[in-house]
Chains A and B, each alone.
Chain A
């Protein structure tokens, strides 16, 4: 299995290569089935006719009655889906602004300025990312209502989500700022630019990819939460998607399967796609600490 070496050091015999390739694709097919089957199932439920969904006589793997988009139109017309969608964007936007406002200067300071404790502060902030929300949600519920007076509003989530986006994005931005050669900045300072000019004209434009990455994570990490939303928000008009879908598209024990799956796909896929583009940075954010 020492593949990177194997290719180079032993002469490739044709059928060995073919067999190995076939095995690799077989293994990948296994993983693909494992990973994607539940999603295939959701897509089918979205597009299928309601009777087709619950007919025990036919194979559930494929459709037996014409496919349609009825579930989508029900979702838009008869539920609060669009309200939740816009709430999600308002929340993510707020979280994003707070996160960047706090993290860009902070990460710049940690990456470039010389002051005592900078390294420990960086590690300390990042370690708060390791504190799971379940340890904090009870007191936070008291704090958002009692201290900030934001009980049962989406602004409670705007306030609280930065507790996990700040540690993460600070770390990501720190990595980006460190990669910009310090000589460029020093050259500007030598040429008579003030520090603010050097930062705003040289460092910030160069770190746009980093800022963009941090922004994407502020958004996708907000969508991954359930506990805080469930604890702080109860009125339908204030809910984000990740709370509205699981709590309101289920009435009693009757599931509106088709609508539910339609909603899930519309909400989930954009997030998943965005996340995926920036996955390498996510991994780097987590493992980068010890490189």
Chain B
């Protein structure tokens, strides 16, 4: 998958003196080039690469904060996790949660992107306001939501009951296991839809407008244009956006931790909360790392798609 940059390697390099040979093989500016990029590589290796492998290592051994390394475990940590009802709940929650939220964000995002594509006076300012859910730090906007979900003074219940849609007893949004999941989902969608919109918008604006004209002249309606013209053209950008959003939604602890902390009961546990509770609060690094690493296959698929897309584009 890692193709070498072409145009650097030459077959006749063998007979030249060493310095020149290196220059031919590694490129003209190789000493300076590697020197300048090495701090970035070093940083990533030490603080992303090393912890990543440490995490793999934790997940296949018995490691706790208290007693350190206590033997190799193979896949025992994973088998015991998969037998644990809390973990099972967390896994299904994480998957269904991400799936539903991506669909909702895509639908809301497409609508908003088309709106922002229009010529509207004051569009830049409107966009700025509409982006606030995404640009505000989530730890902070979450408290607006907690206040809205408050069991006694909930504005949501106040409005719904005054509209006659709900009656006593009012739903306790965060305290009732059937509502807590929706509450968490709602906040996640709210937070993410502006991001989907700007990504889709970036795709739409990259399409030259004569292509719309051509489709129109050929008699294509909106849905045909969308399906045969727009989608194929913006697919790469949508894909990148989707990859980003899926990995971050799957890996995000903040919303659940601050809204419900996995409760009530275990109804809103997701993989990140299990990893945090087990690894940090329980000190069980092995099971914590294993719970987080269950996300890894998704990440791997994302990365492979990302790379394929990238090299396909560059091949053109």
Contacts and interface: CB of A to CB of B under 8 A. Distances in A.
Interface of A: 1-9, 24, 27-28, 31-32, 34-36, 38-39, 41-42, 45, 53-54, 56, 60-61, 98, 101-103, 105-106, 108-110, 113-121, 123, 125, 127-128, 130-143, 159-160, 162-163, 166-167, 170, 195, 220, 223-224, 226-227, 230-231, 241-243, 245-246, 255, 257, 260-261, 264, 267-269, 271-273, 275-276, 279, 283-284, 286-287, 289-291
Interface in B278-307: 279-280, 285, 288-289, 292-293, 295-296, 299, 302-303, 306-307
Contact of B130 (A32, A115, A134, A223): A32
Contacts of A110: 37
B44 A128 contact: yes
Q: Which of B28, B118, B250 has the most CB of A within 10 A?
A: B118
Q: Top 7 A-B pairs ranked by shortest CB distance?
A: A132-B251, A115-B33, A139-B54, A109-B36, A115-B27, A113-B29, A5-B212
Contact of A267 (B37, B133, B140, B155): B140
A54 B133 CA distance: 26
Given A53-B153, A140-B51, A226 B254 contact: yes
A27 B140 contact: no
Interface of B: 2-5, 8-9, 25-30, 32-37, 39-41, 43-44, 47-48, 50-52, 54-55, 58, 108, 111-112, 114-115, 117-120, 126-133, 135-148, 150, 152-153, 155, 158, 190, 193-194, 198-199, 201-203, 206, 209, 212-213, 215-217, 222, 225, 236-237, 240-241, 243-244, 247-248, 250-254, 257-258, 271-272, 275-276, 279-280, 285, 288-289, 292-293, 295-296, 299, 302-303, 306-307, 309-310, 313
Contact of A139 (B51, B118, B244, B254): B51
A6 B35 CA distance: 54
Contacts of A283: 198-199, 201-202
Contact of A141 (B50, B132, B280): B280
Contacts of B141: 38-39, 42, 264, 268
Contacts, number: 332
A26 to B, nearest CB: 10
Contacts of B201: 283
A60 B215 contact: no
A162 B288 CA distance: 24
A60 B143 contact: no
A262 to B, nearest CB: 11
B52 A136 contact: yes
Given A120-B4, A226-B258, A255-B150, 14 more contacts: A6-B216, A39-B144, A41-B144, A41-B155, A101-B39, A102-B40, A109-B35, A132-B248, A134-B251, A138-B58, A139-B54, A227-B253, A246-B143, A267-B137
A195 to B, nearest CB: 8
Contacts of A223: 137
B135 A272 contact: yes
A245 B144 CA distance: 12
B126 A106 contact: no
B34 A115 contact: yes
Contact of B129 (A32, A139, A245): A32
